[in-house]
C-alpha cells in the first residue's frame, strides 16, 4: 500500500497498455469522445490521454480549444496533484502549438479538484486510470459513510477501488462505453466484492483480465495483486491473460496481438492466455495460470463439492472478547461451565492447545444459562461486565449481555474433525478428535460419510490446494486464505469411489504429514494418474 491516500504511480508502459486495452487510441476520432480519469494523481494517465487526443485531433483538423473542451475530465482530491496534472496538460497543449491562454483555460477545465465518488459525473465513452489503493480501514469514516450511501456495491468492508469500478461503469453512456483500470483484483474472489460481481454480471461484461501479480508495474513497490481489467456493455467470453513476473514493456505488443486475435488458448513469451466463460451472478472468478484454471474447471464439472460429498464445515466460535472468555485455567468458574478450546494460533506455535478453555454461557439446547444457577460464573462475568458490555452483540441485546457472539454448535463437539487456519502458505489441515471446540481463528470440517483422515490426506494434496490457489484470495507474500467460503469451492471424489488402497495411502500421508505422498494418492483418487 502507499500511504494514507493510496497514491501509487503507474509506469508509462503500463499506462499505454491500459489505454490500448480500453481502445483509447489515436487512430480513432477521440475528439468526438469523452474520457474520464477518476484519480489522476501526478498525471501519468493525463499525459498519455492528452497526447493521444491531440494526435487524433490534429490528424482530423480539430485541434482547437472549443472542440476539445469536453473531451477530458480528470478528478483528483489532492490539491498539489491537481496542480501537477494541470501543468502537464497545459505544457503538452502549448508544445503542440496552442497559445498559453487557451492552454490554461482548457487544462483548467479538464482537471478538477474533487472527489470522483461523490461528484456529479458526466456520461462518458471511457473511464480509464489507476484508482487509489486504499483499504477499507484507511478510508475516513465520514467519507466511507457517504460512499456506501451513494454506491450499492460499496460496503463498509470494501477497499475503495470497488466504488471507483461501480461509479465508472454506471457513467458509461452507451453500449460502446468502456472502463479500463489497473487495480487490485481481489474483488473477483472475496466476500466484499460479491455485490460488485453481481452488478457486473447483471448489467455489464467483464471483457478482459490481464493478471499482473508480482510485475514491476508501478513507480513504487506495492503488494496489491493488480490486474488490468476492461469492462464494457457487450457480450462474450472473458479474455484472460496471466503474466509472468518477467513480463514487461517488450511483451505488451504480443499481448495486444492476442487480445485482438480472437484466439482462445495462447502461450506467449512471458504470459499465457485463454478464454473464460463469463461468471453468472456473484460467482467467483478463477485467477491462476490458464492450465491450472482448466484443470480446476474440469474437476468442478466431474466431482461434487465438499459439502455435496457429505462434509459439513464452518468457522470456530467468536466471543467478541477473547481475553475474558478464553482462559488458561479450567478452574475459574464451575467445572460444567468450562469448555476445552482448540486455538489454532497456539497449535501452530507450540503444537498443542491444552491450556485453552472457554468460560461457557450456553446450555446444550442453545439457550443462555441462568447466571443465578452458577454463582462463580455470575461473579466472573460481573467482574468483567464493563468490558463485555462494550461489545456490539451485548449492546444489541442487553438482557443477553454475557453471551458470546456465536453459539456453541454442540453437534460437532466430540466428532473427529479437520481444522484449517484462516491463513497459511499451503494447505495444512490439522486433525482433532473433537474434544476441544474450535476457536474463531480456524475453520472446521466434519463428516459422517468420510474417514476424516482420508479426507485430510486429500485436502493436503497439490490438487486440493490448486482450488484455493485459483479461486481464493491471496495475501501479502502469497499467503492463501482457507476460509469456509473458499473451502466450499473444493471438489472431491465421492468417498465410496476411492479405492481402498488409495484411501489408506491418503490416510497414511495425512498421519505422517507427507504432502508428496498425499498428492500422488490424490492423482489416483481423481483419476488423473498418468495424465
pTM exceeding 0.85: yes
How many whole angstroms separate alpha carbon 180 and alpha carbon 184? 13
Average pLDDT over residues 40-47: 94
CA distance 71 to 87: 17
Is residue 22 very low, low, confident or very high in pLDDT (cuts 50, 70, 90)? very high
pLDDT surpasses 50 at 179: yes
Residue 264 shares a structural domain with residue 327 = no
169 occurs within a structural domain: yes
pLDDT of residue 58: 97
Residue 492 falls inside a structural domain: yes
38 & 110 share domain: yes
Rounded average pLDDT over 377-384? 97
Grid cell digits, residue 263:
484466439
pLDDT above 80: residue 346: no
Tell whether 303 is covered by a domain.
no
Nearest to 359 by CA among 342, 372, 340: 340
Judge if 250 and 321 occupy the same domain.
no
The whole-number pLDDT of residue 432 equals 93
Judge whether residue 180 has pLDDT over 70. Answer: yes
Instruction: Report the candidate in 162, 166, 169 with the shortest Cα–Cα distance to residue 133.
Output: 162
Last residue of a domain, one of 228, 253, 287: 287
The Cα 320–Cα 343 span in angstroms is 15
Q: Which residues constitute the domain of residue 195? A: 12-287
Residue 379: per-residue pLDDT: 97
Q: pLDDT at position 222, please?
A: 57
The total number of structural domains in the chain stands at 2
- Which residues are within 8 A (CB) of 449 and not within 5 positions of it... i.e. 6 or more apart? 309, 310, 311, 495
Looking at the fold, whether 414 and 455 belong to one and the same domain comes out as yes
Asked if the structure places residue 305 within a domain, the reply is no
Q: Which cell numbers hold the place of 507?
A: 490416510
- 268 and 324 co-located in one domain: no
| Lookup: cell for 143 | 467519507
The residues facing 124 across adjacent strands are 172
Does 392 lie in the same domain as 334? yes
Closest alpha carbon to 418 in 430, 407, 433: 430
The dihedral over CA atoms of 241, 242, 245, 248, expressed in degrees to the nearest 10, equals 0
Confidence of residue 136 (pLDDT cuts 50, 70, 90): confident
Mean per-residue pLDDT, 63-92: 96
Banded model confidence at residue 2, pLDDT cuts 50, 70, 90:
very low
CB atoms within 10 A of CB 260: 10
Using one digit for the tens of pLDDT, what is the confidence trace for 352-373?
667 899 999 999 999 999 999 9
Task: Look up residue 80 and give its three cell numbers.
Answer: 498539489
Does residue 6 register a pLDDT over 70? no
pLDDT score recorded for residue 353: 63
Looking at every residue in the chain, the average pLDDT score rounds to 92
| CATH code of residue 250 | 3.40.50.150
**Is residue 294 a part of any domain in this protein?**
no
Please, what is the angle between helix 290-302 and helix 462-471, to 10°? Answer: 110
Q: Which residues contact 495 (CB under 8 A, 6 or more apart)?
A: 309, 310, 449, 450, 451, 454, 455, 503
Q: Does residue 387 belong to any structural domain of this protein? A: yes
In a domain, 531, yes or no: no
Residue 153 lies in a domain: yes
Q: So what's the pLDDT on residue 3?
A: 39
Q: Using CA atoms, how far apart are residues 165 and 204, in angstroms rounded to an integer?
A: 12
Cβ–Cβ contacts within 10 Å for residue 53, how many?
Answer: 25
Q: Are residues 172 and 240 in the same domain?
A: yes
In this structure, the answer to whether residues 457 and 500 fall within a common structural domain is yes
- Is residue 316 scored above 70 in pLDDT? yes
- What pLDDT is recorded for position 336? 95
Q: In which band, very low, low, confident or very high, does the pLDDT at 15 lie, cut at 50, 70 and 90?
A: very high
363 and 479 assigned to the same domain: yes
Tell whether the torsion through CA atoms of 120, 123, 128 and 133 is positive or negative.
positive
Question: Looking at the structure, do residues 28 and 139 belong to the same domain, yes or no?
Answer: yes
Per the DSSP assignment, residues forming a β-bridge with 226 are 184
Beta bridge pairs of residue 24: none
Is the distance from CB of 280 to CB of 201 less than 8 angstroms?
A: yes
Pull the grid cell for residue 170.
Answer: 454506471
> Strand 35-37 vs strand 126-129: parallel, antiparallel, or unpaired?
parallel
pLDDT mean over 501-527: 97
Give one word for 305, left, alpha or beta, with left for phi > 0 and alpha for psi -120 to 50: beta
pLDDT greater at residue 223 or residue 345 = 345
Torsion of Cα atoms, 208 then 213 then 216 then 220, to 10°: 110
Percent with pLDDT over 70 in the chain: 96
Q: Within 13 A of 288's CA, how many CA atoms are on the CB side?
A: 22
Specify whether the CB–CB gap between 422 and 336 falls below 8 A: no
Q: Do residues 227 and 325 both lie within one domain?
A: no
Residue 121 contacts residue 74 (beta carbons within 8 Å): no
**126 and 274 fall within a common domain:** yes
| Domain edge (last residue) among 287, 320, 342 | 287
Report pLDDT for 344.
87
Amino acid at each position: 500500500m502507499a500511504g494514507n491516500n493510496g497514491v501509487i504511480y503507474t509506469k508509462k508502459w503500463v499506462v499505454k497498455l491500459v489505454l490500448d486495452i480500453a481502445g483509447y487510441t489515436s487512430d480513432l476520432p477521440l475528439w468526438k469522445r469523452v474520457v474520464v480519469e477518476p484519480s489522476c494523481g501526478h498525471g501519468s494517465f493525463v499525459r498519455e490521454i492528452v497526447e493521444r487526443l491531440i494526435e487524433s485531433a490534429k490528424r482530423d483538423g480539430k485541434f482547437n480549444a472549443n472542440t476539445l473542451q469536453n473531451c477530458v475530465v480528470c478528478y483528483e482530491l489532492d490539491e498539489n496533484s491537481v496542480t501537477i496534472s494541470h501543468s502537464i496538460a497545459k505544457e503538452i497543449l502549448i508544445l503542440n502549438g496552442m497559445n498559453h491562454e487557451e492552454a490554461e483555460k482548457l487544462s483548467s477545465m479538464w482537471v478538477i479538484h474533487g472527489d470522483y465518488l461523490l461528484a456529479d459525473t458526466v456520461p462518458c465513452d471511457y473511464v480509464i486510470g489507476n484508482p487509489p489503493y486504499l483499504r477499507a480501514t484507511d478510508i475516513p469514516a465520514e467519507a466511507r459513510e457517504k460512499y456506501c450511501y451513494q454506491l450499492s456495491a460499496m460496503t463498509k468492508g470494501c477497499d475503495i477501488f470497488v466504488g471507483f469500478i461501480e461509479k465508472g461503469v454506471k457513467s458509461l453512456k452507451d453500449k460502446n462505453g468502456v472502463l479500463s483500470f489497473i487495480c487490485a483484483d481481489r474483488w473477483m474472489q472475496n466476500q466484499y466484492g460479491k455485490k460488485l460481481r453481481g452488478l457486473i454480471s447483471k448489467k455489464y461484461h467483464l471483457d478482459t483480465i490481464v493478471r499482473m501479480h508480482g510485475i514491476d508495474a508501478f513507480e513504487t513497490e506495492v503488494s496489491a495483486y493488480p490486474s488490468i481489467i476492461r469492462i464494457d456493455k457487450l457480450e462474450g467470453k472473458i479474455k484472460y491473460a496471466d503474466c509472468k513476473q518477467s513480463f514487461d514493456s517488450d511483451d505488451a505488443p504480443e499481448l495486444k496481438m492476442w487480445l485482438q486475435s480472437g484466439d482462445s488458448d495462447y502461450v506467449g513469451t512471458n504470459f499465457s492466455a485463454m478464454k473464460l466463460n463469463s461468471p453468472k451472478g456473484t460467482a467467483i472468478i478463477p485467477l491462476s495460470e490458464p492450465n491450472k484454471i482448466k484443470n480446476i474447471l474440469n474437476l468442478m464439472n466431474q466431482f461434487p463439492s465438499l459439502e455435496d460429498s457429505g462434509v459439513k464445515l464452518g468457522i470456530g466460535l467468536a466471543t467478541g472478547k477473547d481475553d475474558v472468555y478464553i482462559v488458561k485455567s479450567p478452574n475459574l468458574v464451575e467445572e460444567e461451565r468450562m469448555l476445552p478450546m482448540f486455538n489454532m494460533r497456539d497449535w501452530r506455535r507450540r503444537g498443542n492447545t491444552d491450556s485453552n478453555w472457554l468460560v461457557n454461557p450456553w446450555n446444550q439446547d442453545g439457550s443462555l444459562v441462568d447466571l443465578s444457577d452458577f454463582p462463580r460464573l455470575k461473579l466472573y462475568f460481573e467482574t468483567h461486565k464493563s468490558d463485555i458490555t462494550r461489545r456490539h452483540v451485548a449492546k444489541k441485546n442487553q438482557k443477553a449481555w454475557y453471551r458470546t457472539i456465536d453459539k456453541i454448535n454442540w453437534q460437532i463437539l466430540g466428532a473427529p474433525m479437520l481444522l484449517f487456519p484462516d491463513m497459511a502458505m499451503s494447505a495444512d489441515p490439522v486433525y482433532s478428535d473433537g474434544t476441544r471446540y474450535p476457536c474463531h481463528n480456524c475453520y472446521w470440517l466434519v463428516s459422517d460419510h468420510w474417514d476424516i483422515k482420508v479426507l485430510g490426506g486429500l485436502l493436503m494434496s497439490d490438487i486440493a490446494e490448486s482450488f484455493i490457489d485459483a479461486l481464493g484470495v491471496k495475501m501479502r507474500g502469497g499467503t492463501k486464505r482457507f476460509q469456509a467460503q473458499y473451502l466450499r469451492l473444493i471438489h472431491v471424489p465421492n468417498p465410496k469411489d476411492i479405492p481402498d488402497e488409495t484411501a489408506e495411502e491418503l490416510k497414511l500421508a495425512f498421519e505422517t504429514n507427507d504432502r508428496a505422498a498425499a498428492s500422488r494418492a490424490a492423482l489416483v483418487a481423481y483419476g488423473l494418474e498418468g495424465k
